Chains A and B, each alone.
Chain A
Amino acid sequence: MITMPTNNTSTVETTHQEASLVSEAARTSAMETRGIHAWFGKNHVLTNVSLQFPTNSVTGLIGPSGCGKSTFLRLLNRMHEFIPTAAMAGEVFLDGQDIYRPGAAAAEIRLRVGMVFQKPNPFPSMTIQQNVLAGPTLSKTKVADKKDLVEDCLTRAGLWKEVKDRLDAYGSSLSGGQQQRLCIARALAVRPDVLLMDEPCSALDPGSTLRIEETIHELSESMTIVIVTHNMQQAARVSDYCAFFLSEDGPGHLVEAGLTSMIFSNPSDQRTADYVQGRFG
């Protein structure tokens, strides 16, 4: 199992302290996967991924395209199963409970593990306000004060100042970066514990990318974030921990994971070193 040093330690521990680290990490990880495999039909795309996501941190999933990072992400909020030929093995623990246990309500899990997609997808037939409130509307949860919730989510997403005067405008009238921030606000409205982000900035310009990276940083103080990114520099900027995935003529697997600073400056595996130094990708 790949263990993650927690936020409380500032340097990488030596081997004999790992036992205490493991137990600390186990207590403070919001999500944990054990032995995750994924298939599409007979095609084995992901093998044996065991990873912990410490609470209130940002974990970046990096690696060349096609090595199963997005598939892994979708396993974390039970979106993988929507593909007809999808199959999986292993366990994903949210607060100590396997989200794939028999009788687990997938929809409820998705309320606790939110997702922001690569291409901004606000609902075009809904206003900005309706978009933010879409989560509670869909799950038919009562919201005590709608305006408060909308303002809170838009502020946390870094969009409030720009749209506070036009909450009745349609979601599609915003720019790409604004739309993505609206999607973030929408995901926040159901108060998830974990937020998954699948290359959220890849369709955006550098200015919007920067704003969203700032948003991620602020959000990580109160929630756990897992972000898939192609962009190594972004991973270096935004994440506290990194997990490096690789697919070498077979299913994707986890090569190495740990503090971002260590992954980038002193990785244990040569392949990691090659990737972060741009020798392939």
Chain B
Amino acid sequence: MPTQLVSDASPDASPDNPVGRVIATEYGPSDKVFRGVITSGAMVSLVVLTLIAGFLLFRGLEIFRDFGFGFITNVVWDPGDGIDKATASFGIGAMLVGSVVTAVIALVVATPFAMGTALFLEFYCPSWLRIFLTSVLDLVAAIPSVIYGVWGYAVFMKYGTSWGRALNEHLGWLPFFSVPAPIFERSPFIAGMVLALMIVPITTSVARAVYSQAPRDQIDAVYALGGSRWSGIRHIVLPFGRSGLIGGAMLGLGRALGETVAVYLVLNLVFRINFEILASVGGNVASLIANKFGEAGEYELKALMASGLVLFLVTLLVNFAATAIVGRTRGTES
């Protein structure tokens, strides 16, 4: 048992002048070993994370030195002749914009549905059905992205194409709904829709967790004043759960930003900054890495590391912000 070491009473102490005695814990030899092992084991995650970031930085630093900020803004990805560095030019501008565009489309489409699903599960669903549907939601959250990619490619593509065509026909005067050529397959719009489907479970779970903590006594007060179920939701639950919904949406955004395979199988990788989401042009940083790593020479590999670093940092920021925002809901309400 850990022994307590208690210091001797101070000579200055008296009943009218209490002086605290120091109590420290000393662990026996077996416990010291135990604590040492556990502590070093726990440090592994710290070490791994630092290694990842550090390694990427180390390898990618040269790229940032050579290209500076242009790495982020340039659109061209040219490994050159693979030998002479001067012939190469790397820039992830197009891919970064592509990552953001597809992720934002996913966010815009997924969030209303996630909110609706969370509200449905929490307030509209009969209780016998709720348990079943919650398990279904958990299962759906576990569907791997490669299956979403296959489905998106083989099943959804034709629907997404015809929707894109319809959007272009009726709303083509909006700048981002116009297209350079009437080809609507493999567009960022379709990729965004598939991503939206992937992130709905995440946002729904977080939103639902927050909505379930909405103060029932205030909802009761709304009912007692003659309000309906929707009144209670609109006036109490939604304001209470706003940070939770935003945080959940941002977690989904983080996932969408880093998604590789689903986007890769569905999107046409073209190195051009493209905001016309219905056109068959796009990409994202993750697909870039997957696409290029196979034949990458040493210099190109460093460029890929630098890309990975940028993606890592962006996703990290989004996730931190998300956690902070969700944490705020739990903290503020009494």
Contacts and interface: CB of A to CB of B under 8 A. Distances in A.
Q: Give yes or no for direct A-B contact (beta carbon below 8 Å).
A: yes
Interface of A: 77, 79, 82, 84, 107-108, 110-111, 114-115, 117, 119, 121, 123-125, 134-135, 138-139, 183, 186-187, 190
B235 A121 contact: no
A117 B225 contact: no
B227 A138 contact: yes
22 contacts: A79-B223, A79-B224, A82-B220, A82-B223, A111-B226, A114-B224, A117-B220, A119-B217, A121-B217, A121-B221, A123-B218, A123-B235, A125-B239, A135-B226, A138-B222, A138-B225, A138-B227, A138-B231, A138-B235, A186-B225, A187-B224, A190-B225
Chain A CB within 10 A, most for which of B223, B226, B227: B226
Contacts of A134: 222, 225
A107 B239 CA distance: 23
A190 B227 CA distance: 12
Interface residues on B, range: 10 to 19
Contacts of B57: none
A125 B218 CA distance: 11
Contacts of B222: 134, 138
Given A123-B235, A125-B239, A190 B221 contact: no
B221 A79 contact: no
A27 to B, nearest CB: 27
B236 interface: yes
A33 B166 CA distance: 61
B323 interface: no
B116 to A, nearest CB: 21
B228 interface: yes
Interface in B187-220: 215, 217-218, 220
Contacts of A82: 220, 223
Chain A CB within 10 A, most for which of B127, B220, B223: B223
Contacts of A138: 222, 225-227, 231, 235
A121 B220 contact: yes
Given A111-B225, A114-B225, A117-B224, 17 more contacts: A79-B220, A79-B224, A107-B227, A107-B228, A108-B226, A110-B224, A110-B225, A110-B226, A114-B224, A115-B224, A117-B220, A121-B217, A138-B235, A139-B227, A186-B221, A187-B225, A190-B226
A84 B215 CA distance: 17
